[in-house]
Structure 1
Amino acid sequence: MGNDAVFRVDGLRKSFGHIEVLGGVSLDLHAGEVTVLMGANGAGKSTLVKIVSGVYERGGGTMSLAGHDFAPEDFAPKTPAEAIRAGVVTVHQNINDGVVADLDVATNLTLDRLSGSGAPTLFNPGRVRR
């Protein structure tokens, strides 16, 4: 794992009751790269994504975004809206989960920002792709 990761997960843990579903996951994501989470049903892919996107709280480990700690006491998203404001956007594999088929990827990723309070009045597609 390199030092230039834009998003880093290290030793991430999550349990539901006595069942440990993530047992020390580490992952670096780099700008300009596509990363695929692939594995068998029950491997923890969805749980990892839900922790990163603010749906679940983690049980241990660290996360950092652009060098800033996603620490529970300071920067960790507690809701999906907080994760989006921090710059973490989740694209689900199911087209029915909030993706507009007629829009390109960049526009779909910014829909929450475009529709929230304080959203710009005019949409600049070129700015979205920077």
Structure 2
Amino acid sequence: MKRALVLSAVLLPICTPPAFGQAPVLSITALCKARSADARILRSTTGQSLANCEHDEEAAKQQLNTLWASTSVTIRNRCRSEARSLGTTSYLDLVTCIQMADEIKADSKKKTSKE
């Protein structure tokens, strides 16, 4: 039951569309607790304390807030959808997805300009 509450706290903000043009708002504490609970259930180690997880997610949140407005709606929606399909969304997941999309776009432009 406790796990269900934590997961709903993590997933609820994902299901609620953010205000136009604003990055999603996630519960960092709930996300990190859910990761820790999952690691305990799987009897694996996250390799990261709750405090470190929260620190990393907070840093990623700041980075995402910078990237979000300059990222196309198509990429934002794709990244949100991909993260949601994994079962949880984190700021780190979203930042990584956007960065990868930017790299692919840059590589594509380089190949086009060489031809």
Q: TM-score, normalised by structure 1?
A: 0.26
Which has the bigger relative contact order, CA under 8 A and spacing at least 6? 2
Q: Which has the higher helix share?
A: 2
- The structure in which a higher percent of residues are strand is 1
